[in-house]
Structure 1
Amino acid sequence: MFLKNCWYVAAWSNDIGRELTAETFLGENIVLYRQKDGTPVALENACPHRKLPLSDGNLKGDTIECGYHGLTFDCAGKCIDSPTQRGMTPRRAVVRSYPIIDRYRLLWIWMGDAALADPDKIFPIENFDDPSWGKTDGGAMDIDCHYLWVCDNLLDPSHVAWVHVTSFAGAGTDDEELDIKKTDRGVIVSRWIQNKPPSPYYAELVQFKGDCDRLQHYEMCLPAIGLNKSIYTPVGTGGYDKPYVDTTFINISYNFMTPIDEDRTRYFWFQHRNSEPDNKEVSEFMNRGARMAFQEDKDVLEKVHLGMKHMTTPNIDLGLDAGAKQFRRFLDRKIKDEAVKLEAGE
Structure 2
Amino acid sequence: MSNYVLDTWYPIAWSRDISRTLSARKIVEQEVVLFRTEAGGVVAMEDACPHRLLPLSMGKLKGDAIECGYHGMTYDCSGKCVRVPGQEIVPPSAIVKTYPTHENMGLVWIWMGNPTLADKSKVFDLPQYHDPAWSSAEGDALEIKANYLSLADNLCDPAHVSFVHLSTLGNAASEDIPVMHEEQDGKMLTWRWIIDAPPIPIFKKYGNFKGNVDRWHYYHYYAPSIAIIDFGSADTGTGAPEGRRDNCMQIYACHFMTPVDQETSIDHWLHVKNFPADSTLNAALSAEFRIAFAEDKAILEAIQRNETRLATRKTIKIAIDAAPRRMRRMVDGMVEKEVPAT
Quickly name the TM-score band, shorter chain normalised. over 0.9
Letter in 2 for 1:84: G
Contact conserved, 2:165 with 2:171, CA < 8 A, in 1? no
Contact conserved, 2:225 with 2:256, CA < 8 A, in 1? yes
Residues in 1 aligned to 2:280 and 2:214: alpha-carbon distance in whole angstroms: 25
Counterpart of 1:48 in structure 2 is 50
Task: Give the unaligned 5+ runs of structure 2.
Answer: none
Q: Secondary structure at the match of 1:91?
A: coil
Which digits, 9 at most, give the CA deviation of each residue in 1:6-45, with x for residues without a partner?
1111111111101011110110100001011111110000
Which digits, 9 at most, give the CA deviation of each residue in 1:293-330, with x for residues without a partner?
11111111111011112215322122111111011001
Residues in 1 aligned to 2:289 and 2:158: alpha-carbon distance in whole angstroms: 15
Deviates more, 1:74-83 or 1:131-140: 131-140
Q: Aligned pair in 2 of structure 1 residues 146, 215: CA closer, same or farther (>3 Å)? A: same
Counterpart of 2:33 in structure 1 is 31
Counterpart of 1:136 in structure 2 is 137
Counterpart of 2:111 in structure 1 is 110
Deviates more, 1:280-289 or 1:43-52: 280-289
Contact conserved, 1:194 with 1:238, CA < 8 A, in 2? no
Letter in 2 for 1:35: T
Q: Secondary structure at the match of 2:272?
A: strand
Q: CA deviation at 1:215?
A: 0.4
Q: CA deviation at 1:121?
A: 0.3
Deviates more, 1:39-48 or 1:162-171: 162-171
Task: Pick one of 66, 85, 107 that aligns with 1:64.
Answer: 66
Q: CA deviation at 1:208?
A: 3.3
1:310 aligns with 2:309: yes
Counterpart of 1:297 in structure 2 is 296
Counterpart of 2:230 in structure 1 is 229
Aligned residues: 339
Within a 5 Å distance, the mapping from 1:201-216 to structure 2 comes to 201-216=202-217
Which digits, 9 at most, give the CA deviation of each residue in 1:178-222, with x for residues without a partner?
111111122111011100001011112224321000001112112
Which digits, 9 at most, give the CA deviation of each residue in 1:125-171, with x for residues without a partner?
12222111111221111111100110001111111122112111113
Counterpart of 1:247 in structure 2 is 247
Contact conserved, 1:5 with 1:113, CA < 8 A, in 2? yes
Residues in 2 aligned to 1:76 and 1:333: alpha-carbon distance in whole angstroms: 32
1:272 aligns with 2:279: no
Deviates more, 1:155-164 or 1:192-201: 155-164
TM-score, with length taken from structure 2: 0.96
TM-score, with length taken from structure 1: 0.95
Residues in 2 aligned to 1:293 and 1:250: alpha-carbon distance in whole angstroms: 17
Residues in 2 aligned to 1:259 and 1:145: alpha-carbon distance in whole angstroms: 9
Q: Secondary structure at the match of 1:138?
A: strand
Q: CA deviation at 1:177?
A: 0.8
Residues in 2 aligned to 1:319 and 1:238: alpha-carbon distance in whole angstroms: 29
Q: Secondary structure at the match of 1:83?
A: coil
Q: CA RMSD in A?
A: 1.4
Contact conserved, 1:63 with 1:75, CA < 8 A, in 2? yes
Residues in 2 aligned to 1:238 and 1:33: alpha-carbon distance in whole angstroms: 49
Deviates more, 1:52-61 or 1:77-86: 77-86
Residues in 1 aligned to 2:331 and 2:239: alpha-carbon distance in whole angstroms: 32
Contact conserved, 1:133 with 1:273, CA < 8 A, in 2? yes
Residues in 1 aligned to 2:303 and 2:95: alpha-carbon distance in whole angstroms: 41
Counterpart of 1:196 in structure 2 is 197
